[in-house]
Amino acid sequence: MSRTIIHCDADCFFAAIEMRDNPELVGRAIAVGGHPDRRGVISTCNYAARQFGVRSAMASAYALRLCPGLTILPHRMVHYREASQKIMAIFHRFTDLVEPLSLDEAFLDVSELVTEGGSARQIAAAIRKQVVQEVGITVSAGVAPNKFLAKVASDWRKPDGLFEVRPDQLSEFVAQLPVSCIPGVGRVTAERLVQLQVKSCGDLLAFSEQDLCDRFGQFGSRLYHCSRGVDTRLVRSERQRKSVSVEQTFARDLPASEACGLYLEELMARLQARIDKLTSRYGVGKAFVKVKFADFSSTTLERAGGEFGYNNFAELIHEAASRNEGLVRLLGVGVRLTDAEAKLPTEVGQLGLFGGSP
């Protein structure tokens, strides 16, 4: 079945709301995040800050070293969620098939409107115009035959951009994409692909699906299909996330204590950045860790609680690692999610892992 998917993503959302509400910030390098003296993490930064190398999930202290003039603002989650509700309401004016990915990002299936003679590009343009008029910030949009390419397209002309991948352009467009565009391709997988002389999706066309599965396990199927522009996932309007997590596979196997010292802070920063992007319906129920050992066996361990700092995660990791005497090849940290809106009648605070709300 032919589908037409739009992926909409607000440009530097938290920072955009701050600049909207305080025009004196426009043109300055700003970020929204935690305090640099308290293991704070950058959630979002504007494009002026990105020119200095500042990025989301980066430690606030490091961001200040990259950009000494950076203004780091505290989170105002009530305002971000209010803007998010307005944005999602605009999306629903066009289709009921809206799958939110975060406060400011969603997939929209407009296949039925296109079948009836509508233009997906015009729909995306109308959405972007209404967001500017009613919310006061810009949204970039990508139009494509599937989710994978729609998300890639929305990044193509950021900020404040609109890009369409038409079905007749699909093969040519995908072939030029770096393999890092494929969901799930991180640094370690990218390095393994480079060893195979693979840098672009076009380079992957030389491999059969079986060959890629032999080399990368089940992930080989994703590499095979995405490199050909194939993604059969549906837009699911009622999807509810059960957890959010991040992982890091090491270039060499390490003792658990060394792995913790080298990677835990970075993992927690990445996890906090993902938590910051969750919609208002979610709360944190439990924190968990995953440890994979050199023999490829793995174990997980979780513990209830609303706040988990560095020491808490380190304790969980060491307890989990004690179940196997071998070296560690992967660490993961995450949180189980609860439906906060169903349980709490009032505003839920930001989900902070570093001693509560920043």
CB 254 within 8 A of CB 346: no
135-144, 151-160, 257-266, 289-298: least confident range: 289-298
Q: What is the pLDDT of residues 59-69, one digit of tens each?
A: 899 999 999 99
pTM above 0.85, yes or no: no
What SS3 state is found at 146? coil
Question: Does 307 fall in a domain?
Answer: yes
Are 334 and 309 within one domain? yes
pLDDT at 344 over 60: no
Phi and psi at 178, nearest 5°, equal -65, 150
> Is residue 325 annotated as a catalytic residue, yes or no?
no
Q: Which of 18, 24, 99, 105 is catalytic?
A: 105
Are 249 and 332 within one domain? yes
Question: Does 358 fall in a domain?
Answer: no
In the listed set 36, 55, 73, which residue is the last one of a domain according to the structure?
A: 73
**CA-based angle 202:208:211, to the nearest 5?**
115
Q: Report the percentage of the chain scoring pLDDT > 70.
A: 92
Binding-site positions read 9, 104
pLDDT at 339 over 90: no
Q: What is the CATH number of the domain that holds 280?
A: 3.30.1490.100
Are 24 and 50 within one domain? yes
Q: If 0-12 CB within 10 Å is exposed, 13-18 middle and 19+ buried, where does residue 284 land?
A: buried
pLDDT at 356 over 50: no
Domain residue limits at 190: 172-226
Are 252 and 338 within one domain? yes
Query: Tell me, what's the pLDDT at 117?
Result: 74
Question: Does 285 fall in a domain?
Answer: yes
Are 329 and 309 within one domain? yes
Q: What is the CATH number of the domain that holds 144?
A: 3.30.70.270
Question: Does 352 fall in a domain?
Answer: no
H or E element, residue 288: strand 282-293
Q: Confidence class of residue 41 from pLDDT cuts 50, 70 and 90? A: confident
Q: What is the CATH number of the domain that holds 222?
A: 1.10.150.20
**Residue carrying the six token digits 């609109």:** 162
Are 247 and 211 within one domain? no
Query: Tell me, what's the pLDDT at 340?
Result: 59
Q: What is the pLDDT of residues 72-113, one digit of tens each?
A: 999 999 999 999 999 999 999 999 899 999 899 999 999 988
Q: What is the pLDDT of residues 246-302, one digit of tens each?
A: 888 888 889 988 988 888 988 988 888 888 777 666 777 788 999 988 877 888 898
Are 305 and 325 within one domain? yes
Number of domains in the chain: 4
